A = this chain, B = another copy of it.
Amino acid sequence: MLTTAAFQSSISGRRVGSISNRSMEMFGTVMLYGSDVEIYGQEEPADHFYKVITGAVRSYKVLSDGRRQIGAFYMPDDIFGLEIGDKHAYSSETVCQTRILVIKRSSLLNLLASDKNTALQLWAIAAKEMQRAQNHSLMLIKTAPERVATFLLEIANDVSGEVDLPMKRRDIADYLGLTIETLARTLSLLEKSGIIERSAGRRIRLRSRRALNSMTA
């Protein structure tokens, strides 16, 4: 049990665990959410874990005056909502129509008591998430072009070099700690210099990963 198909932490692309879909489904239910639907709110009791099947999720916090920081986008196979404590620290919403596996925390915790290996994996997931969060801090001290380049490489870990962004500019901007205007300008700049190519606003082709990489800082 809890052994076969690995799930990935998509934005960074590294595999971090090995709880199979099949076994996890024994503990949860797949739910279909519309676009921009709240999955849970900050400070709400945290009695479930979640795993993205298709679609995308943003996890965020807002400051009193409305500034919003998106801490992570969760893509297919990513697990989220596993922070410790009885309250969620962040809110989370779907970015587009999204299928999510919802797992009762209590049932996973039960399993955990009987299977020490699962506990190790929980640690692995949390540790991975920790690294993601740490990396994001690094992102936020970079310049605008550096942030955008880093972002494009983060989401384009499939080989094709073609990205289909599920999220709007506002989301990306809030993830990168920039305004949508600066983001748009930076993308246009990358396009003018031939590093990327855009068919539609949300569809971006990376023409030179090398160039992007060298901008990454």
Contacts and interface: CB of A to CB of B under 8 A. Distances in A.
Interface stretch (A25-33, A99-107, A137-145, A191-199): A137-145
Residue from the set A89, A133, A136, A217 with the largest chain B CB neighbour count within 10 Å: A133
Interface string A187-209: 00000000000000000000000
Nearest 7 CB-CB pairings of A with B: A119-B119, A133-B133, A84-B127, A126-B126, A140-B140, A130-B130, A126-B127
Interface string A95-129: 00000000000000000110010011011101111
Interface of A: 16, 61, 63-65, 67, 69, 71, 82-85, 89-90, 112-113, 116, 119-120, 122-124, 126-131, 133-134, 136-138, 140-142, 177, 217
A133 B130 CA distance: 7
A128 B112 CA distance: 19
A71 to B, nearest CB: 5
Contact of A119 (B69, B120, B128): B120
B217 A127 contact: no
Contact of A138 (B63, B113, B120): B63
